[in-house]
């Protein structure tokens, strides 16, 4: 990734990491709300103003890792083989994420990742920020569906909304299990079955 970004870029990258890591450590120790931006800035040894130039809002200090996946679903739909339906492509990508223990699926064993899950589940503001991420992702997906599957506006939006709802519900369910102490290996079969169920419902309906 960052083989040759120049000193400036590498330093920025490191500063960004430092700020986020420092923030998460503080939030884990004292909770999200009680820790102020000023405290985070002091602990990370940057000015408040600099902190805000890296992370536009306090919530982003925690959730930015997820925000990076904002366009993933849209990309997957655009990049799918010609003979694959959008829903199959999305399903395959989600199952692949589970298999790879992608943090975004909620199946993961890294203590820091689990700590972030816990923080999100325990903090309404962070939960809200995560929902906002799913919303952006949904909007991008709807656009991709309109363009590549030649769907009218509303049907594209409906499909995107339903997929997004399923993805969010599955991930948050996995978050809860991980926070409760279930290891990724133990949670995986259940998570897989849940995903199969959910995508089955999407394809074949609830009736």
Partner DNA sequence: TGCAAAAGTAGACTGAGTGCAATATAGACC
Partner DNA sequence: GGTCTATATTGCACTCAGTCTACTTTTGCA
The verdict on 93 binding its own copies (CB under 8 A) reads no
Extract the tokens encoding 141: 């997906």
Which of 75, 78, 132, 139 is in the footprint of its own copies by CB under 8 A? 132
Q: Using an 8 Å Cβ cutoff, are 195 and 94 in contact?
A: yes
Q: How far apart are CA 92 and CA 98, in angstroms?
A: 10
Selected range binding its own copies among 19-27, 49-57, 75-83, 193-201, rule: CB under 8 A: 193-201
Extract the tokens encoding 91: 């399903």
Is residue 155 helix, strand or coil? helix
- In the complex, the smallest distance separating the C-beta of residue 117 from its own copies, rounded to whole angstroms, is 17
Residues 6 or more apart whose CB falls under 8 angstroms from that of 190 comprise 177
Which entry of DNA, its own copies, none binds 168, CB below 5 to 8 A by partner kind? its own copies
Q: How far apart are CA 151 and CA 147, in angstroms?
A: 7
- In the complex, the smallest distance separating the C-beta of residue 44 from DNA, rounded to whole angstroms, is 9
User: What does DSSP assign to residue 105?
Assistant: G
Which entry of DNA, its own copies, none binds 15, CB below 5 to 8 A by partner kind? DNA
Residues in contact with its own copies by CB under 8 A are 85, 87, 128, 131-132, 135, 154-155, 157-159, 161-162, 164-166, 168-169, 173, 194, 197-198, 201-207
């Amino acid at each position: 990734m960052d083989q040759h970004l120049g000193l400036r870029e590498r330093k920025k990258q490191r500063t960004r990491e430092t700020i986020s890591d420092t923030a998460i450590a503080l939030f884990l120790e004292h909770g999200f709300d009680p820790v102020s931006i000023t405290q985070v800035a002091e602990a990370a040894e940057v000015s408040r103003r600099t902190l805000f130039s890296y992370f536009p809002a306090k919530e982003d200090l925690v959730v930015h890792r997820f925000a990076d996946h904002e366009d993933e679903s849209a990309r997957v739909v655009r990049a799918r083989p010609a003979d694959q339906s959008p829903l199959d492509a999305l399903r395959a990508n989600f199952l692949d994420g589970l298999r790879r223990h992608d943090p975004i699926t909620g199946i993961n064993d890294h203590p820091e990742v689990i700590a972030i899950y816990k923080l999100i589940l325990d903090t309404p503001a962070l939960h809200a920020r995560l929902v906002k991420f799913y919303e952006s992702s949904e909007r991008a997906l709807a656009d991709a569906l309109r363009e590549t599957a030649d769907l009218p506006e509303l049907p594209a939006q409906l499909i995107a909304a339903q997929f997004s709802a399923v993805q969010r519900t599955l991930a948050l369910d996995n978050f809860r299990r991980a926070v409760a102490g279930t290891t990724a290996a133990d949670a995986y079969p259940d998570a897989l079955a849940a995903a199969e169920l959910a995508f089955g419902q999407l394809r074949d309906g609830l009736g």
